[in-house]
Amino acid sequence: MKTTETELLFTPFEIAGLRLPNRIVMPAMGTGLPEHDGTCNDATIAYYRRRAAGGVGMLTIEASLVSPDAYGVGPELRLHGEEYIPGLRRLVEALRPYEIPIGIQLWHPGRQTLLGTPIAPSPVPLSSRTPIPHELTRDEIHTLVDYYALSAWVSQEAGFDFVEIHGAHCYLPCEFISPLSNLRTDEYGGPLENRARFPLEIVDAVRERCGADFPVMYRISGAEGAEGGFEVEDAAAVCALLEEAGVCAISVSAGNWYALHQTIGPMFLPRGFLVSLAATIKRSVSVPVIAVGRLDEPSLAEQVLADGDADLIAIGRALIADPDFPRKVQEGRLAEIRPCISCNACVDLVANAKQARCAVNPEVGRDDTWLIEPAAPPRRVMVVGSGPAGMEAARIARLRGHDVSIWERDAELGGKLDVASRAPSKALVLSFRDYQARIIRELGVEIHTGVEIDADTISKAAPDVVLVATGADPLVPPIPGIGGPTVIDAQEILHDRVTVAPGERFAVIGGSATGCETAEWLIAAGAEVTIVEMLPTVGQGIELITRRHLLADLRKQGVTILTKAKVTRIEPDAVLYERTDDGEQGSLAVDRVATAVGWTPRGASLADLVVGPEVVVLGDAAHPGDFVSAVNAGADAGLRV
């Protein structure tokens, strides 16, 4: 049943003869799932089939390499030869039953080529740590244009309905447009019309090779979002030229390598933060415009369409987290949506040459083997601990037909999720806790909160199997003075159990995720904060995009970051440290000290209490890890029990 609140979102649409059943588009998103030789495999097909099945109106397959010299970061699809056609054809055929347009993105990373020789319009490196890219000659530019055309033809032969040229995020076509990376003085550099020449030549070549009827879309950064980069007026002018050249739709993303938070907005950016770029570009073109950027709030997406700011809404991570997002919205089942928490763990994995996984959905990346089989025979399963691992284990065990109970010592379900959401930038994490809690309740998992588990509780519950998901305890570092009255565990702070006097001087020992979040909390409470970290950098364990932004923000707010400093003693009014590089001794005057140096698993002590039933220790209770590993460990335990 269509809800009136999302009527526009579910109104069919047409682009260049392609019929979309609704206005929701899945944008290109790398998965790390294809084979290393660039061919398509069953895992990739299953991942996309699952997304197509969820009711999206149009689907764009991930950025796929257009020339043999192009390398991303890990396994990516390749398009520059007939040998790739059979695998791609299988992919298209698997998605055909869903009767939506299927396209693929044509990609050359240019100077962001990390595994091979980077190439670029000009020899300007990405950063001081990356090699100087090879400056493309005119002949090489023409060859690349031919490769784009060949790749489009391969896509067409494989049965794709359209191609999208990846002209965003400062990959090669975008590097030509950007004044930061294009310093050329020939016909490909200088005024905007010259800088747009390369993308325009690609469009011409694709249309010539595939025929003028073959739909060619273009993805652009509506603005680079970095100092010295191009602005939305420039992007709009380029889009007008692209339309003239025959592009049939424009997808408006944002950002470049320096402004990745614009490309894949972390949870601290507001929903819809890129809409104004799409709206500006829409005023310059008459072809359909696709908006993107945390638009997974259905009423907001509807409003964007109602305001005429875009014709279509791209929803990325929310479709990773819950492929059924479109269908659930259309049927008004909003509470059933497994919420993406914009944590960016998915992209962090892919950017590190790993397969995509999701912090809230353990099916992601293993869609081809995922199977919830009925338990034979059903057993009494007692889950101890209700963090993300425990609740996921309970959900899946229950779905398999087990008789499941979950036991939590705190008053509320959620375990570490509560504290994980305390930092001002992470409140969204709670939406996942609430989702998990609601689902297990609905499934009929028996819930016990406020119960400290001992041998007696276990024996009274009479389980066949105990899943120990009790999480981890903060590690107490063996530093002289650690037991002093001015020393607090960071968890106490993140649990709001500490009052801070204005200007109170805090040292936070440990600069990983918890340390940084504690610093964020303390500074917001009015303290003066120094993070003391033994390693050369802080923010380990935080995904790249959030980390960059968080660190810049902490610095902006006046947090002092002291790296390569090993704390040797805590005194009532000072922290003494030794530099790890030159052994120099230093001291820091402080009023209080917060420790955030890691975790120690809590599972073994509970497992020892279990006599009789089978015991499985999982998640942080076995090996402290991140959100993704906790949810996946919970799922695995639920599948196996």
Ligand X SMILES: Cc1cc2nc3c(=O)[nH]c(=O)nc-3n(C[C@H](O)[C@H](O)[C@H](O)COP(=O)(O)O)c2cc1C
Provide the annotated active-site residues.
171
- 30: contact with ligand X by CB under 6 A: yes
Query: Which window, 83-91, 110-118, 317-325, 371-379, contacts ligand SF4 (CB under 6 A)?
Result: 317-325
- 292: contact with ligand X by CB under 6 A: yes
- 24: contact with ligand X by CB under 6 A: no
Rounded (10°) CA dihedral 189, 252, 38, 317: 150
Task: Tell me which of 241, 249, 346, 559 binds ligand X, using CB under 6 A.
Answer: 346
x/- string (CB under 6 A) for ligand SF4, residues 7-36? Answer: ------------------------------
Nearest approach, Cβ of 633 to ligand X (angstroms)?
21
CA distances from residue 79 to 93, 173, 184, 428, 523 in whole angstroms, order as listed: 17, 17, 29, 38, 50
Residue whose pair of structure tokens reads 């995922």 in the numeric block: 370
For residue 362, cis peptide bond before it (omega within 30 degrees of 0): no
Query: Which window, 233-241, 257-265, 361-369, 409-417, contacts ligand X (CB under 6 A)?
Result: 257-265
Coil, strand or helix at 444:
coil
Query: Which window, 312-320, 512-520, 533-541, 610-618, contacts ligand X (CB under 6 A)?
Result: 312-320
- 27: contact with ligand X by CB under 6 A: yes
Task: Tell me which of 247, 260, 321, 468 binds ligand SF4, using CB under 6 A.
Answer: 321
Task: Tell me which of 316, 362, 387, 603 binds ligand X, using CB under 6 A.
Answer: 316
- 359: contact with ligand SF4 by CB under 6 A: yes
For residue 485, cis peptide bond before it (omega within 30 degrees of 0): no
Name the phi and psi angles at 562, rounded to 5: -110, 110
Residue whose pair of structure tokens reads 């003494």 in the numeric block: 576
Quote the CA–CA distance of 180 and 165 in Å, as a whole number. 21
Question: Would you give the DSSP letter of residue 424?
Answer: G
CA distances from residue 244 to 141, 199, 203, 325, 611 in whole angstroms, order as listed: 22, 12, 10, 35, 75
Q: Are 296 and 319 in contact (CB under 8 A)?
A: no
| CA end-to-end distance (rounded Å), the chain | 37
Nearest approach, Cβ of 342 to ligand SF4 (angstroms)?
5
Nearest approach, Cβ of 439 to ligand X (angstroms)?
23
- Alpha carbon of residue 569 to chain centroid: 39
Nearest approach, Cβ of 31 to ligand X (angstroms)?
7
Task: Tell me which of 29, 94, 172, 469 binds ligand X, using CB under 6 A.
Answer: 29
Residue whose pair of structure tokens reads 């950007």 in the numeric block: 178
Quote the CA–CA distance of 288 and 14 in Å, as a whole number. 9
Paired residues of 390 in beta bridges = none
**Closer to ligand SF4 at the Cβ: 342 or 595?**
342
Query: Which window, 112-120, 181-189, 262-270, 598-606, contacts ligand X (CB under 6 A)?
Result: 262-270
- 315: contact with ligand X by CB under 6 A: yes
Residue whose pair of structure tokens reads 């907001």 in the numeric block: 300
- 219: contact with ligand X by CB under 6 A: yes
Q: Are 73 and 79 in contact (CB under 8 A)?
A: no
Task: Tell me which of 343, 389, 393, 617 binds ligand SF4, using CB under 6 A.
Answer: 343
360 makes contact, choosing from ligand X, ligand SF4, none, with CB < 5 to 8 Å by partner type, with ligand SF4
56 makes contact, choosing from ligand X, ligand SF4, none, with CB < 5 to 8 Å by partner type, with none
Query: Which window, 12-20, 24-32, 94-102, 628-636, contacts ligand X (CB under 6 A)?
Result: 24-32
405 makes contact, choosing from ligand X, ligand SF4, none, with CB < 5 to 8 Å by partner type, with none
- CB-closest chain residue to ligand X: 316
User: Which token pair is 119?
Assistant: 């190439």
Taking alpha carbons only, the member of 600, 605, 627, 632 closest to residue 617 is 605
**Closer to ligand X at the Cβ: 318 or 596?**
318
Q: Are 217 and 165 in contact (CB under 8 A)?
A: yes
Nearest approach, Cβ of 366 to ligand X (angstroms)?
15
Q: What does the binding site for ligand X look like in residue numbers (CB under 6 A)?
A: 27-30, 62-63, 105, 166, 168, 219, 253, 263-265, 292-296, 315-318, 346-347, 350, 356
Q: What does the binding site for ligand SF4 look like in residue numbers (CB under 6 A)?
A: 317, 320-321, 340-346, 358-360
